[in-house]
Chains A and B, each alone.
Chain A
C-alpha cells in the first residue's frame, strides 16, 4: 500500500495559481509558484477558515481571499503581523507528475 497519491500534472495548475484536491478529510490546496515549485497545504486559513486555494500566490506565500492573511507555503506558518499556522502536506514531483502524501487514515484503507 502506498500513501503517495497521484493528483495530476504540474501543467494542470496555472503559474501563480492553485487547484483543489478533494479528500475525505477535506480539501487540499495545491499551489504552483512562478518557478514551478509545487506546494500543498490544507485548504483552510487558520484565521477563519478561508479557502487558501482561492488566494493570490506571490513568492512562496498565498494571501487568504477572505481577510488577506499571508501564509508561507513551505512551512504553513502565517506571516507577520498575524499568527497561526496551517498543515503542510508533502509533495513529490516526477516528470511533471504531482503526488501528495496522505496519512493512511486520511483516505481510509480496506485492511
Chain B
C-alpha cells in the first residue's frame, strides 16, 4: 500500500481525502498532520458559532472516530516544519517524522494583518480559527466595544456575531461601499442601511492609522482623518493570503500561491496541493466550492483516472440571519456588457444580472436570494438566455413560463442533476435524488442525516424538501402526515385515538393492536406512548419507567458531563429562611458545583452524582420541599411578581394566585414542558406573556393568555379572555391544560399546537363552551388526584425505585484475583 501524507487538516485536505476514499479506500495508507488540536471542522460556519446560532460540535465535519474508522493516522497539534523532498520525509515541530510516496499540501491560508502600529497588542485578533472564537468569547464576557476592520464577508459576519452577543460593534471599511468585491454600490448601500438598523456602526472610507492600547491591551483605534473609536477588541478581517511558507522553504514553485497544474500537481511530481494555498492558472481562491472541485480532480488523478481542473466560478452568500445577500461571477460590467436591474427599495429588494452575448456573467441579489442557485447554474452552464430574457430578472418561476404561480416543485424537477442545492456542504441535486432512491428516504430529516444537505446553515431546507417531493412524486403525498417513528405507519393522532377507542391500556397492547414493526419500539415512540397511556387512563395505567427519558426516570436533569442537577419546588417562586438553609446545607454536603437561580425563579443545584440523588432528595424532603419537575415533560414553574401585596402598581394578589395555580397543577405530566406566570399589573414583571399560560392582573380582573414561549422561536401569548375571579382563573387554566394534555402530540409545546389547531378552536372549547370547560377541568382534577405525589419521596422510600441509583457492582483491584 502506498503512503499518502496530507499536510493540513482543514476543509480542502479532508474533502480531498474523502474523495480518495470514495474512489478506492485501499490504495493509500493515509497520515494527516494538523496544526490545530481538533478533528476537522467547517471553518465557513465559524460565524454562526460566534453569533451563538450553532455550537462548535455542530460544525465538526469529521470526528476523531472518523479518522480511526477509515484507518487514517491523525497527528494533531503537529505543524509540519520541513519537507525533505529528496528522501520523501516530512517532519513536524513536535518531532514526528513520516515518509511518503505521495504528499498533499493543503495548508490553506492565513489572515492578512495590516501593518499598523499597535497590531501586536492584546485584543487584536483575526477571525480564522477556534482560538479566535475563544478570544472573542472572552471579550464578549468582559468588554463592551468591538471594532472590526474590514467590511467584507468575514468582517460583517464577525461584527454581526459580536453585536448579537451583546457588544457594541463598529465596522471600519477602507472602501466607500461594503463587500465591494461581491456587491455593487446599490446593494452595498442597502446592506449598510440594514446593518445600521440593527445597531452596527459602519464607517466607510475609513483608514486605520494606529491601534492604541494601555497596559498592553487595545483601548482605541485611530483613523487617518483623526477620528478615535473606543475598542476593547479589534478583529482584523481584511483578507487572507495563501499559506506558502512551507512550500517555499521546500523549494517548490511558488508565486502568489503554490503553483499547480490542471491535475493539482506542484512542480514536484510526487507532491499535490489543493485549497486556498494554491495558484491555478494565475488564480487563487478563498471560497469553499473551488476547494471541493479541486478535491475531486485530485482524487481522480491520484487513483489513476483522468480529469482536469478548469478553474472555478464562485458564488457567495452572507451568513447573517435575516440578511439575504447573494453574489456570483463577474458583475463589474464593461462596454460589451448589459445590466438588467430590478430595484424595489421600499421592500428592500435589489437584483442585478450582468449579461454578455446573451449569457450571464454575474448576478447580485439582495433581499430575495431564492433564485441565486438558478442564476448561478445558468452562469456556469453558459446558457443562452435570449428566449427568457424579458422575464429573467423576475426569477425562475416567471421565466420558466408558469408565472408566479408556477409550482416550485416543477422548478426543482427542471434543475440538472449537478445543480448545487446545499452550498455549505457541496451537495448537488443528484446526491439527494440518489440517496432518496437508494435508501428509501421520505423525510427532510432523513435526507439531512444521509446527505448532509441543509445540515449546516439550513437556508436551503425548503429547496431540499422540494427535491425530495419532486423525487418521490406521488409517493410523497402518502407520507405527508409523518408516522410516529420508524416503528409504525401510524401517526401520533392515530395511536392516541386507538388507545382511547380500543381501550388499549399497556404498551404491549398498543404494539399488538397497531402491528408495531419493532419488538419494543424505540426511544422516540416509547416515551410518547407511555405519556398517551397515562393521560388516557389516570389511576389505571402503570407508568413504565423504562419508557421515560433519564431525566424523568432519575427525577433530575442529566447534564453534559453525566452529572445531574436538582431543583426543589418553590411555590410561586416564594421561599423562606428554613428552605434556603436546607438548600445551602445540601449544596455544601453534596459538593454542589454551581448554585443558580433559574429563569422560573427556582434554585438549581448542579454537579450531583447519580448515586447521591436519593440522599439529597431526602434532605430536601425533610425541609418540606418536593421535586420541582424541572426535568419533566410536565408543569415546571409558575413565575410571579409581588403584586398588590407589596408593589405600588399591583392590582391583585399575584403571588397568592401563582401559588394556587402551582398547587393545582404540579405533578401533572404533559406533552412537553409547561410554564405559567402571574403578573400583578400590565407592567408584566413576571413576563407572563411568553408562557404556556399567562395571567395579567388588571383592575377589572384577570387577563388570560396562552401559547407563548421564549424558546428558539420567541412567541408572545395569544389573548384567551378576561375573567373576574381567582376561581375562574383556576378553572380556565385547568381546562386549557387538560385540552392540551389530551390533544397535543407528544413533544409538541403549546405554541406549535395552537398554531396547528388554531386559537379559535381552543377558545371555542375553553371560553365559549361552559359545559366542555367544566368537563375538561373535572378530568384534570381527577387525573391530579393520582399524580400529585412527589417522585423524590417515592424514590427515597421505596427500595426497588432506589436500586436504579446504585451501581450494580464495584470492581476493585483485588476483584480479578
Chain A residues within 8 Å of B, Cβ to Cβ:
1-3, 5-8, 12-17, 19-24, 30, 34-35, 46-51, 54-59, 63, 65-66, 68, 70, 80-85, 102, 104, 106-110
Contacts and interface: CB of A to CB of B under 8 A. Distances in A.
A58 B816 contact: no
Contact of A5 (B63, B546, B549, B811): B811
A14 B546 contact: yes
B808 A108 contact: no
Contacts of A50: 562
Contacts of A20: 807-808
Nearest to B809: A7
B65 interface: yes
Nearest to B808: A19
Given A16-B546, A21-B807, A48-B560, A84 B63 contact: yes
Closest 4 CB pairs of A and B: A63-B523, A81-B449, A19-B808, A107-B816
A35 to B, nearest CB: 8
A91 B812 CA distance: 18
Interface centre among B518, B527, B550, B811 (most CB of A within 10 A): B811
Contact of A17 (B546, B560, B810, B813): B546
Given A21-B808, A56-B526, A59-B518, A15 B813 contact: no
Given A83-B66, A109-B817, A55 B550 contact: yes
B559 to A, nearest CB: 9
Contacts of B523: 55-56, 58, 63, 68, 70
B815 interface: yes
A66 B546 contact: no
B520 interface: yes
Contacts of A63: 522-523
B520 A59 contact: yes
A5 to B, nearest CB: 5
Given A58-B522, A63-B523, A107 B815 contact: yes
A108 B814 CA distance: 7
A63 B524 CA distance: 9
B57 interface: yes
A5 B808 contact: no
B519 A22 contact: no
Contacts of A47: 63
Nearest to A50: B562
B558 A21 contact: no
B461 to A, nearest CB: 17
Contacts of A46: 65
B560 to A, nearest CB: 7
Interface in B418-470: 446, 449-450
Contacts of B560: 48, 66
A54 B546 contact: no
Contacts of B66: 83
A17 B800 CA distance: 13
Contacts, number: 128
Contacts of A80: 449-450
B520 A110 contact: no
A15 B519 CA distance: 13
A33 B197 CA distance: 58
A82 B449 CA distance: 8
Interface in B66-80: 66, 69
Contacts of A82: 449
A8 B446 CA distance: 40
Contacts of B65: 46, 83-85
A56 B315 CA distance: 45
B90 interface: no
Given A5-B811, A54-B562, A56-B546, 11 more contacts: A7-B811, A16-B520, A21-B809, A30-B808, A49-B561, A54-B553, A55-B523, A58-B520, A65-B558, A81-B446, A109-B816
Interface in B769-816: 803-804, 807-816
Nearest to B452: A81
A48 B561 CA distance: 9
Contact of A7 (B527, B551, B808, B816): B808
B558 A13 contact: no
B628 interface: no
Contact of A107 (B446, B521, B522, B811): B811
Contact of A56 (B69, B547, B558): B547
Interface string B233-269: 0000000000000000000000000000000000000
A107 B810 CA distance: 11
A14 B812 CA distance: 24
Contacts of B813: 24, 107-110
B554 interface: yes
B235 to A, nearest CB: 29
Contact of B520 (A34, A68, A83): A34
A79 B809 CA distance: 29
Contacts of B57: 48
Contacts of B69: 83-85
A66 B812 CA distance: 29
B816 A2 contact: yes
B443 to A, nearest CB: 12
Interface in B505-547: 518-523, 526-527, 545-547
Given A21-B809, A56-B523, A56-B526, A81 B450 contact: yes
A49 B562 CA distance: 8
Contacts of B550: 54-55, 65
A83 B561 CA distance: 21
Contacts of A49: 561-562
A32 to B, nearest CB: 10
A1 B814 CA distance: 11
A20 B804 CA distance: 9
Contacts of A81: 446, 449-450
Interface string B645-656: 000000000000
Contacts of B548: 56
Interface string B44-72: 00000000000001000001011001000
Contacts of B817: 1, 109-110
Interface centre among A13, A47, A54, A57 (most CB of B within 10 A): A54
B485 to A, nearest CB: 10
B651 to A, nearest CB: 45
A36 to B, nearest CB: 13
Contacts of A21: 807-811
B816 A108 contact: yes
A100 to B, nearest CB: 9
A5 B817 CA distance: 9
A12 B803 contact: yes
B558 A54 contact: yes
A109 B813 CA distance: 7
12 contacts: A7-B811, A17-B546, A19-B807, A21-B809, A21-B810, A24-B813, A34-B519, A49-B561, A56-B547, A58-B521, A107-B813, A110-B813
Contact of B808 (A8, A24, A58, A107): A8
B817 to A, nearest CB: 6
Contact of B816 (A3, A22, A57, A85): A3
Nearest to B563: A51
B808 A1 contact: no
Nearest to A58: B522
Nearest to A1: B817
B288 to A, nearest CB: 23
A56 B520 CA distance: 11
A108 B66 CA distance: 31
Contacts of A68: 523
A105 B224 CA distance: 68
Contacts of A3: 816
A80 B438 CA distance: 14
Contacts of A48: 57, 560
A47 B66 CA distance: 11
Contacts of A110: 813-814, 817
Contact of B811 (A14, A24, A34): A24
